[in-house]
Amino acid sequence: MTAKVFIDGAAGTTGLEIRDRLSDRSDIELLTIADAHRKDASARADALNSADAVILCLPDDAAREAVSLIDNPDVRVIDASTAHRTDPAWAYGFAEVEPGARDALALAKRISNPGCYPTGFLALIRPLVRAGLLPADTAVSVNAVSGYSGGGKSMIQAFEDATNPDATDTAFRAYALGLGHKHVPEMRAHAGLIHPPIFLPSVTRTYRGMLVEVPLHLHLLTGTPSLAAIRDVLAEAYTGSDVVRVQRENPSFLTIEQAAGTDRLELYVYGDEKAGQARLIAALDNLGKGAAGAAVQNLNIALGLNETEGLRL
């Protein structure tokens, strides 16, 4: 049976990526509305209620509005905005991060797609907290760098269009310097941490790709584990996953494009045991597992389809 899917916000960066992954699939029929009616509430409501599943690629307020337009109880919603990521009424769309999460997603009518930075952070930290290796009251920081596509159309134009009023020729930009980034509540809540992590995001002059790093003092962890023990906990958490891969061999360096152009998530454990320090690093594509790839994976699960169909692994 062919599932009808409507992408609300299909003209945006994430929407285009999702449509590209779905357009050639025989098990998906993409519903569309004319460009002239993209902001027409009546036309959107018709499409939203005619679909088996909808994916919202919208700003937060517009995503909430879209949800309010849906009165068909059978429609499954996957929201790629930040609007519902800590809402307990919505299933959190990271199938690998918790035992039973995949089953919950298969039953859910409302799924919140994780943020790109939280995806890397949670993949590294949540298994350690769950295993009791990282006490929930540990003070944690996370340093991350993303390709500029993560900032959407406005940032893409600033980096690519020299005539744009906000044009920049910088190679690297640190931002959210006041530590109030909107992803922090999501990180804390889904990691199971008592204190919000200190989040240090930045963007660099590459279109796509992401590195998320969490430094840890080993003596603050239960039993002062070895690097191998930390890696083993992560490997056990993601056993059998085609998407999340815990790397046993560490290259001498990692690049921001390490997983760019894919929908996979690579996890690395570096460090110096003599110094008692670890560097946990996640490599992903901010537009892949960090956005569109995750949405397609969640769509597949919600519709009972092959979980990795359409993904670039």
What's the pLDDT tens digit per position in 174-229?
Answer: 988 998 889 999 999 999 999 999 999 999 999 999 999 999 999 999 999 999 99
Catalogue the active-site residues. 116
So what's the pLDDT on residue 9?
92
| pLDDT at res. 285 | 98
pLDDT score for 166 = 84
For 35, phi then psi, to 5°, come to -55, -35
pLDDT one-digit tens code per residue, 36-62? 777 788 889 999 999 999 999 999 999
Q: What is the mean pLDDT of residues 151-161?
A: 87
Q: What is the pLDDT of residues 251-306, one digit of tens each?
A: 999 999 999 999 999 999 999 999 999 999 999 999 999 999 999 999 999 999 99
Q: What is the pTM of this model?
A: 0.95
Among residues 267, 206, 260, which one has the least CA distance to residue 241? Answer: 267
Residues 6+ apart with CB under 8 A from 144: 117, 120, 121, 199, 200, 201, 202, 210, 211, 212, 213
pLDDT band at 310 (very low <50, low <70, confident <90, very high): very high
Looking at residue 2, what is its pLDDT?
92
Highest-scoring range by mean pLDDT, 65-79, 156-170, 174-188: 65-79
Superfamily of domain 116-286: Dihydrodipicolinate Reductase; domain 2 (3.30.360.10)
| Residue 167: predicted pLDDT | 85
Q: What pLDDT, on a 0 to 100 scale, did the predictor assign at position 34? A: 86
* Average of per-residue pLDDT across 65-69: 96
* Residue ranges matching CATH 3.30.360.10 in the chain: 116-286
Kindly report, as residue ranges, where domains of CATH 3.40.50.720 are found in the chain.
3-114+291-302
| Cα gap 210→170, rounded to integer Å | 18
* CATH class for the region spanning 3-114+291-302: alpha beta
Rounded Cα gap, residues 284 and 175, in angstroms: 20
Going by DSSP bridges, is the β-strand pair 76-79/110-112 parallel, antiparallel, or unpaired? parallel
pLDDT of residue 7: 97
pLDDT band at residue 248 using 50, 70 and 90 as cut-offs: very high
N-terminal to C-terminal alpha carbon distance within the chain: 25
pLDDT of 1 reads: 77
Q: 187 exposed, middle or buried (CB, 10 Å; 0-12, 13-18, 19+)?
A: buried
186 three-state secondary structure: helix
Q: Cβ distance 188 to 117 under 8 Å? A: no
Average pLDDT over the chain reads 95
Answer whether residue 154 shows pLDDT above 90. no
pLDDT given at position 298: 98
Print burial letters for 73-95: b (CB count within 10 Å at least 16), e (below 16). Answer: eebbbbbbbbbbbeeeebbbbbb
Residue 69: predicted pLDDT? 95
Q: What is the structure's pLDDT at 37?
A: 75
Q: What are the pLDDT digits (tens) for 97-142? A: 999 999 999 999 999 999 999 999 999 999 999 999 999 999 999 9
